[in-house]
Amino acid sequence: MKDENVNQEDDKKLDTTKQDKETTDEKASRLRKSSLKVKDKKKTVIPNREDKTKERTAKEKKDTKKTEEKRRTEENKEKGKIPKAVRETNPKTTPSNQEKSTSSILPKKISNLGWVNRSCVNDQAVKNRVQDLLSSRLIHADHQVEWLARSIQCIDLTTLAGDDCPSNVARLCSKAAHPLSDDLTRALQIKHGLLTTGAVCVYPARVADAVLGLERLGANIPVASVATGFPTGQTSLKIRLEEIEFAVANGAKEIDIVINRELALSQNWGELYNELVEMRKACGESHMKSILAVGELCTLTNIYKASLVAMMAGSDFIKTSTGKETVNATLPIGLVMCRAIRAYNRKTGFKVGFKPAGGIRTSKDVLQWMTLMKEELGDNYLTPDLFRIGASALLNDIERNLANYTTGGYFLAEEMPMA
């Protein structure tokens, strides 16, 4: 009986071990299956992520495409209204500037308005620099004759009087073609007809008379005309543009336009730029000189900013004043404008000319201005391609000083031929 009980207990133990084995086998198979499911799940999850990233990138591409198209359409809308900076055309293409001459290229859009707004001028530093130039940079008396003779080539001989008529203009053209008397030309050993002024400057109504007068003399001198409601500019933009077109149609090769001072004083540089661009278009192949009317801009900083905007809009020259303001061309103002020209040249590679006008009446004045040009902008700015002087009485004083030098005598202004 004992043996039977033992056998039964052994059988029970075997059954329990079998059951345990089965349960462990079942657990193992269950775990295997669950791991396989997890693997499958992992496999299925990965491609879903890839699909999502693909969808996201496709969406982003579409969005960027849309924004790009939007930007292009906006740019196309703005074309013609706000042309792009920056350009510059030299008044006469010299070999060094021939490759960079851009008379046929117009600006498309102002992109450096931040540069204009950030600009600031240190007034005291300007005064110190001018004093240094006047005290330490002097032209030796032996060389003054050559400097004065060269300055004649840079003069825009001007008549802007209310009583201008064909005879006055004809006399002015004759003086421009032969600025010195024959005796003085021979004494200075200058070939006859070689020395002329840079240009003849008149009102738009007198352009045709000036062109005719120079043709009769056989002189190859450009005719410059003031325009755009000179000297105040207080007319509508349409009328100002028509005045430019009238002067160009009559034969003017250079147009002296006046900027809108209201826009400059209110710091509305974008609108001023747009107006100047329209004027540049109206000038066509003729060179544009922008008159800043510095005496009405109040501060040197405003003058600097206006100079930058005028150059960005395509001006071939920037000019100090009309000659009708209370403050005209002074050396501190000239220094600020020269620094603007230099900064613009460094930034863009283009050279813009400079024209001081108003208040330059004596040989001493012109020598100081030429010294400033040489020191600040270099020898290239002592030629009529990049430097002009707006004057009417200056030539008379230069001729008198040259006569005093050659003859050893002293001549009065009244003894010189009329300009």
Q: Report, as residue numbers or ranges, the catalytic residues.
A: 256, 319, 355
- State the CB neighbour count (10 A cutoff) for residue 417: 15
Residue 302 structure tokens? 């405003």
Put the strands of the sheet holding 223-226 in their side by side order. Answer: 353-355, 317-319, 287-291, 254-258, 223-226, 199-202, 155-158, 389-391
Using DSSP's 3-state secondary structure scheme, residue 225 falls into: strand
Residue 247 CB contacts under 8 Å (≥ 6 apart), including other chains: 204, 207, 225, 227, 255
Strand pairing report for 199-202 and 223-226: parallel
Residue 264: its H or E element? helix 261-265
Whole-angstrom Cα Rg for the chain = 40
What is the residue-wise DSSP string for 29-54?
Answer: HHHHHHHHHHHHHHHHHHHHHHHHHH
The values of phi and psi at residue 270, to 5°, are -65, -45
Beta partners for residue 199, in sequence order: 156
Q: Retrieve residue 357's tokens.
A: 């006008």
Residue 199 CA, distance from chain mean position:
23
In sequence order, which residues have a C-beta less than 8 Å from that of residue 419 and are 6 or more positions away? 157, 172, 175, 392, 393, 395, 396
| CB-side neighbour CA atoms (13 Å) of 128 | 5
Residue 288 is inside which H or E element, if any? strand 287-291
Question: 84 has which bridge partners?
Answer: 108, 109
Residue for token pair 């802007």: 160
Q: Which secondary-structure segment (H or E) carries 103?
A: none
CA 227 to chain CA centroid, nearest Å: 20
